[in-house]
Amino acid sequence: MAATNHPSIIELRNVGQTYDGGNSWVIKNANLVIPDKPAQGEFVVLLGMSGCGKSTILRYVAGLQKPTEGEVLIHGKPIEVAPRVSMVFQQYSSLPWLSVLDNVALSLSYKGVAEKQRRERAMDIIKKVGLDGHENKFAQYPTLSGGQLQRVAIARSMVANPEILLMDEPFGALDINTRLQMQELLSEIWLEFHPTVIFVTHDISEAVYLGDDIYIMRANPGQFVQHIQVDLPFERVRSIKRDAHFIELVHEVEDKMVAVGGKRSRVLKY
């Protein structure tokens, strides 16, 4: 594992998850350290077959679930109070009886931000994600397309300026053109706001295009077994996908995914 001079923002220490008293383990001895890089952020991608525990890892970091054993730390401390974490799901998660504007401003309302200020902040992020002109529409399908609904979810997640943004296959249900647009949008937002992102996907090309670091998990039990550092330019543009080095990285990750699925791999240690 590459050494880092940065303190950690997220750390998993010997994490395990069982739902049957230890007869079987969904996750076992999972260890992960994500460095804190203020004013830059870190874009981490999790890859692995279905059922290896990727979504469970996100729930740990969000404070929505506690592991059966081990520790999940934010800034070196256990999650006791909800950290500044936002989450975007694959399923459309907007409240359909509220407008786009009200959906995006919802978290600010819970925090007691005055109405004028929260509407201004919500409109600012709505414009950034390309939804201006749609702010008064109900956030539901088919009034809005699937891509627009995910833009609502991203805007709602970013309006409170989270330290950590968790994304669980957010583009999995989108058509290819919309998916490409959303990849570029997410890259632009990350460059502007610099959160630490943990992004789950099954798309290897997407993982290489978006990620700084890719972690591959194996299943039965879920463990981190491969770490690939993506040595591409900090700012990603679509043309980079035609670069020979990008294609080489995609093949490297693909080969490691196949190897993880075909044999027992060495577990990452810190």
Q: What domain range is 203 assigned to?
A: 1-84+195-270
State the pTM of this model. 0.92
In a domain, 207, yes or no: yes
* Amino acid 1: pLDDT: 42
**Sequence-separated (6 or more) residues with CB below 8 Å from residue 103:** 94, 95, 139, 152, 156
- Please determine, for residue 2, whether its predicted confidence score (pLDDT) is greater than 80: no
Q: What is the 3-state secondary structure (H, E, C) of 134-154?
A: CCCCECCCCCCCHHHHHHHHH
* Amino acid 92: pLDDT: 74
In a domain, 214, yes or no: yes
Report the relative pairing of strands 77-78 and 69-74 from DSSP bridges: antiparallel
Q: How many domains does the chain have?
A: 1
In a domain, 187, yes or no: no
| Bridge partners of residue 217, in order along the sequence | 48, 224
In a domain, 111, yes or no: no
How does pLDDT run across 26-58, given as a tens digit for each residue? 999 999 999 999 888 999 999 999 999 999 999
- Model confidence at 264, pLDDT cuts 50, 70, 90, reads low
DSSP string, 178-224: HHHHHHHHHHHHHHHH--EEEEE-S-HHHHHHH-SEEEEEETTTBEE
Which CATH number goes with the domain that contains 258?
3.40.50.300
How does pLDDT run across 62-95, given as a tens digit for each residue? 999 999 999 999 999 988 765 689 999 877 788 9
DSSP 3-state of 157: helix
Going along the chain, which residue ranges are E strands? 8-17, 27-35, 42-48, 69-74, 77-78, 85-88, 164-168, 196-200, 213-218, 223-229
HSE (side-chain half, CA atoms, 13 Å) at 198: 27
- Average model confidence (pLDDT) across the chain: 91
In a domain, 184, yes or no: no
**Contact 232/211 with Cβ under 8 angstroms?**
no
In a domain, 204, yes or no: yes
